[in-house]
Each structure stands twice: as C-alpha cells, then as structure tokens.
Chains A and B, each alone.
Chain A
C-alpha cells in the first residue's frame, strides 16, 4: 500500500466539487481512499485517522489544498493524481473557457452560423422561456431541456411555434433524436423509418433502443416534455409532432409514447389518427387502458418493449401474428429462467428489490409486477397506500426510484453517479428475505460512461455477502441503449454477465422475470 500527496496553494473550490473529485479518484482500480481538503489542523487529524497524513502536509496551512491518495501501487496512485488534476482543471477551465471564444448571445451565434436551425436551451427555467421565444422569433426550432419553465410560458411558446411551423420540444425534455443526431440524454440509434413522438424521455430511450437492437431504425424521435399531454397545454406539440411525421417521407411508421394523456388530448390524438394519419401508429400509454389506444385507431402495446418490437416487426415487413409468436416465445423463455432461478434459493428468500435510476422505467416495472405479484412498495408507488415509511428501508417487494428528489438533492443524478445505488445493492443483499435484485442501466450521452466497471464490484460484493450466509441472490438487469452508444451495450452486457447478472433484452422482460421468480417462491401478495 502506498500513500502519496500533493499540496496546492491558493486554489479554492466549492466543497461538493472537492468531495466528488475525491470520490471519482477513489473509484479507480487499486485506489483505496482519497481526500482533497483544505489543510486545517482538524482535517489533518482526519487524514491521520484515515492513514492519509504525510510528512509533507504537516506544515501546510488552512489555505492550502491537500490532495492525498492511498492506493495498492505507485502506478494506481499516479493514475489517481492524474484524474484529480484533470477534474480540478476541468472545473477551472469550464469557467474560463466561457469568457473568450464564444458568442455572448443567440444573435452573436447566428452571425457565426446563419443557417442554424435548432437551439438547445438548458439555462435556468426563469430565463429559458425568454431565450426560447427569441429563438422561435428567429425562425429556429427549440429543444428546451430546462425545467421550471412557467406553464403559461410553455403554452405561449407552443402556440407561437404551432402557428409558425416550428418545433418546441420541452420544457423538461431530456431527449430527442433529430436527423439521426442524439440531442441531450439520447442514445445513438440506427437510422430507419420509424418515427416517435414521446412525452416521456426515458420511455423514448427504451423504445428507440429496442427498435435499434431489433435491427430496425429511427427516422425522427420528437420529445414533447411530460406536461404537453396534460389538460392545460392540450397536446399542442404531441399533435404537431405526429403531423410532421405523417408529412415526412422517410417515416413509414409512427410510435406514440406517453403516460396516459388527458382525455381531451387523447380525443385530439384519436381524431387526428382517423382524419389525417395514414401511416400505421403504435401507441404505448403507460398505465393506461390499451383498449383506449385501440379505440383511438392505434395498435396498442402493453410495454415499451412491445411498442418497439411491434414497430420493428412492421418495419421489417413481418405481420402482427409473427410478432405475437415472438412475444410468446420470449414469455416462455422468461418462465424457464424464472423456474431455474427459483430452485437455488434458501428458505425465506422470496422478495424482489428494484433499484431504479429511470423514473419511467420504474413505473413500467411496477405496473408489470403488480399484475404478477400484486401491489409493491416504493418511494413513488402506484398505490399511495404502499408508500415506504422510510425510503431508505425497503420492505417485502419494493421498487425504489433513486432519481426522485429526496435522493438527488446536492448530488448528481443516479444515472451518472452510481455510488448511492451501489450502497443500496449491498444493503439489500444483507436482507435474508431478498431473492431478486432488479436494476436498470441507462446508456447514452449524459449517463455514466463506465456503468459496467462501476456496477460489477458492488454486485460481486453483494453476492459474496449473501454466499457467506448460504444464500444465492438473482441479479436481473436491463440495459437501455445500443452498441453504438459511447458505453457500448454489448460490452456492458458482457461485464454484467461476467459479474453474474442475468441481462434481459428490455426493462419489461427484466421486471417480468423478477416477478415470476418471486411468485414461484411465494412472495406474491
């Protein structure tokens, strides 16, 4: 074991920056602990307790920045330093870079790029609306990533956009794919002839990834933001998005993804399908009644995966019957794995713990599980009576959405920072009643870049912990993403499988498998 350190003078950073930098360094291979702190006497004493105090630190003052790393080898320690230096530099240069080379305003940007056609806006909500309006007035389409844009502003923007033939995706639109380009938190998908309109970002990611992984492709994927299909906005962009896809010669099939829209909006969608849309439409309204979708003239899907599979089957010239056969086969396969996994459990192991980073995926998993094992607990459950008293403490069958505010205040989203979920994985493994731990892994731009490297050690540790007690826990995961994503789905899949995880082709399949195992073991309500 080596301990190495550096002192930096006169550099000040916010506390969370320092903590996260240290944490990123600790996550590297062979690094046991790292600290980046001001050189106060008191911090030195903690460095000492942690075995990180070096002689060189003894004369450092309160205003010096101390960086200490404990690692298995000299090489690992040096790597950690490189990482820390790089992260601190990035923090600095991001602030600096802003000053010199960039235009200061939208107008300035248009001088450099007069033929721009899309503006992505992610500044604070109170300014974002005005910036978006300015963009529309210049005839530019808008993707509004920011949330907290006032409702009346959203309506104003969307009405203006509708009247002027422009797109407003968002506010609170996390993902879109336009002309093959992944915008914000999107996956790198194949191009093809399936167009998507979605009022749910993660839903869009799951459907577009399934389509790509089935060998079909996406023409356009338009996000609208969740509020678009509520009563007040009245589905303005959902409708305009559908019309645009109908007009687009490269789009042959249309998929609609949303939570159940307001009835008024649903009626507009149905009228549009009946009167203007000639292309086949597949609809998934999570938690809604498939009959309603059918009534609206669309092909209903029960899950995000199904929506993707139906669209992909159509695109590949297969009939719906063939698709149904495929689905039945998959269902059989799931049941077979469930039977196998139910056999190696110890007496008392009977519950599932879903640890989710994607809210829509968590919702979908709970909807499916409820049909198989009855009501499940959670921090954002379907049935309010099953809300956990303490979101940190699971009970019976529990699905936790770690992306909820209570877990994310002051820290990066769990799709980016895995440390909290890793900790929960270990905790759940200590519970003798747990049979299955269910995970979602969301790839693409904006997400964690090394999900396999970061998840595998926690899963390994959890498995070993259980094994000491004679227990075997089944890990089930789905990976939302494609092989073209910067993380590479196949690589992540292999890493997880090597760690003993059963990787299912979709979130729906993963949730069903987990639920069937629980049902076999008598953990259903």
Chain B
C-alpha cells in the first residue's frame, strides 16, 4: 500500500472508491447507488470548476471567517519546557468548529442539485449546528439526526440547531449516540433520496462523502501553510501536527496540505478517544488494533465483536464517540504517513485544565484529547520543534460536563 505524491489523497481511491485497495468503497443499499452516483458526478465536476471554487472561497472568507488564528501558546510552552507549542484556533470559525466547512460545501452542492431539504447526523452537535446554520443561510430546510444520549449531554448545541430553524430528530436505537444517528440519517435518505440531500458529518460514509468532507476541511491546512510561511519564512524543519480523531474530518483537513512533505519534517499525530481509564470501552479503533469491518457504507478499522456486530463505544467527548474511523485515516495509518495514539477521558480533562489555566483558549473536550498528547510529548522535543495543535472546537458546548467533572471554576 502506497501513498502517492502530487495527487490529493481524496482522489487516490480506485474506481470502486477504495483507498489502498481495501478502505472505503460503497457498501450501500441499491436504492442509494443512483443518488450517490449523481452526487459523485456533480462533485467531480464542481471541484474543477473555477466559479464554484470562487463561490466556496467567498463564503469561507466572508461568512465562515477565514483565516482562523494561528497563535503561539507562550505560557504553556514555558510551562512544558520543550517544543514551541502553537495552536490553530479553528474554533474561531463561524459557529465555533471546523464542521462549518463541510456543511457549507454540502449546502452549496444541494443548491446546485436543486434539492430543497438537507439532512445530516451529529454527535457533539457541531455538525448539526453548522448544517442548520448553512441550511438557513442558503434557504434549505434542514433535519438533524442526533442520538438521545447526545441530545442530553450537548444541550447548548441542540438549542442552537433549533434556533436556526432545523428539526432535531432524536434517535433512540442502539447506544443512542453518533453511530445510531448516522444510521438513522442514512435510513431517512434511503426513503427520501429523490427530494432530500444528505450531509455526512465527517470523513466517513460512502466514498463520495469521505471525499467531499476531506476536500472541505482542507481549508484548515491551506490557511496554516500560509501562516507558517508568514511566521517562519518557510514550513519549519521540525513540524508536528496534533489533532483529535473521531470520524477524522478535522485532522484530515489539518494535515492535507502537508501530505507530500517527508514525515521527518511534518509529522502527523492523530489522537483517538481512549474512554474512561477504568473502562474497557473506547473509541480508538486505530490505537487498539480493531479489525477491518464495514460501517456506514465503508470498509474501515472498526470496533466490533468476533461475530461482526459493531461494539458500543465510550468517551467523554461526544464528537469522538464513534466506533469506526475514516477510510482516509486507515490509509494514512497503513502507509505509515500518520501516527495514531489515544488519550483517556481523564487525560483530556487534565489537558483542558492546563490549557485554560495558562492560555486564553478554551478547547472543547475533543481537541483536549490532542492537547493531552501534545503536552506530554512536547516535553521531550527540542526548542526548535514546532508543535501545532488544532483547537477545532470551543468548550461552550461542554460546560455541563466540565462543571460536573471539574467544578464550577473551570466553566
């Protein structure tokens, strides 16, 4: 299995949509074959269309607000006493997280295809919130599928979704989290694909959704590359990019522009959700060696039992609480371009405490996982090593959990 240079990773899949010959694909009911093919044709055409790209960039700049900040975490760097720790504050983006890029592009595609309704899944509520914002902006009706457990633990985002005029459909099946929300959203699409567009909230799902999402979030690394050159004169000789990985949309977007650099110069570190320290359950299929399976239309490493039933996950962060992982990350793992590890719930909370103590930055529980590993590893790095952590979400949505776990003063 080999990663090619000079070709975007999203376009390195084969005819059937498999990366490295075995990750991804289109394991979907026959009914979805046609709408998926239609979307593929549209996307392949538009991503080469200058007008469309200009339109995307216009909305990214004026509405999403690009570029998001790239800042040095001076105090944290001093405290850790190793590498320089920087952050790409993607939570600056309109709505407070990277999910806005994918949502915007899906709404633009839906408009072009003449669809008037868009449906989407959400875990932490960010994908749902952003889709509801974009849908409102572009005049589309919007339905958001969300696990009942997530609705309870991510109330601020649920309120935002409703305020944007979207309908929140609670999902009571299975573990009542993201995995069930994605399933239910796909079911809704199966039954309504003639009139409704679907947005998959991460770089997961049938191949075209993986590609659209990766193409959209790559805005993050395009900005970062420019910012690095502005700051250091060129891309630093020792650059390490830390990002949390649930489905994998923000990390893929954070790394994409640096793909062709040697990994000795630009190393990618993906941090999965290890779950509570004392629990056997986790949401870290790459770290803990889960086997390949099929989930939501794509072959990927996925938590499952020997019989092929998808296993329940556990994580304090709803956004990472997913048993599978993007085929793109499976591909980056097996080609050894990226390295993956996990942080536990407790480690993420500690990192949150540290970051908020030293900096004017409030990463949500998802990027707190990435901060945890970045802080630990930075201690060992030389002072000319540039560590960048993608702070891809804001902690406002987590205030309930943080208050419960850490006390009022941390909210």
A and B associate: no
Interface residues of B (CB under 8 A from A): none
Interface residues of A (CB under 8 A from B): none
